Amino acid sequence: MRSLCDGFFTEFPYRFQEGRFIMKTAPTVVDYAKYGPRADTTLIGLADPPER
């Protein structure tokens, strides 16, 4: 991967970062309520809880 990027990004610097970023590993209770098999359509789009 690095050799491909070295050949492509020649005009500006770049860097690789490893780790877990914003992707969730499991659905939350809110996800289940909004998108689950018996989703409550009144919840979709109203509000999301603040991030901790």
How many domains does the chain divide into?
Answer: 1
What's the chain's average pLDDT?
A: 76
- When pLDDT is cut at 50, 70 and 90, the band that residue 45 belongs to is low
Q: How far is CA 35 from the centre of its chain?
A: 16
- What is the per-residue pLDDT for 25? 80
CB 28 within 8 A of CB 48: no
Give the structural domain span for 26.
Answer: 19-47
Residue 40 maps to a domain: yes
Residue 26 CA: distances (Å) to CA of 13, 16, 22:
34, 25, 12
End-to-end CA distance of the chain: 34
**Residue 50 has which token pair?**
């603040």
pLDDT of 44 > 70? The answer is: no
Confidence (pTM):
0.33
Going by pLDDT thresholds of 50, 70 and 90, the confidence category of residue 7 is: confident
**Any domain includes 9:** no
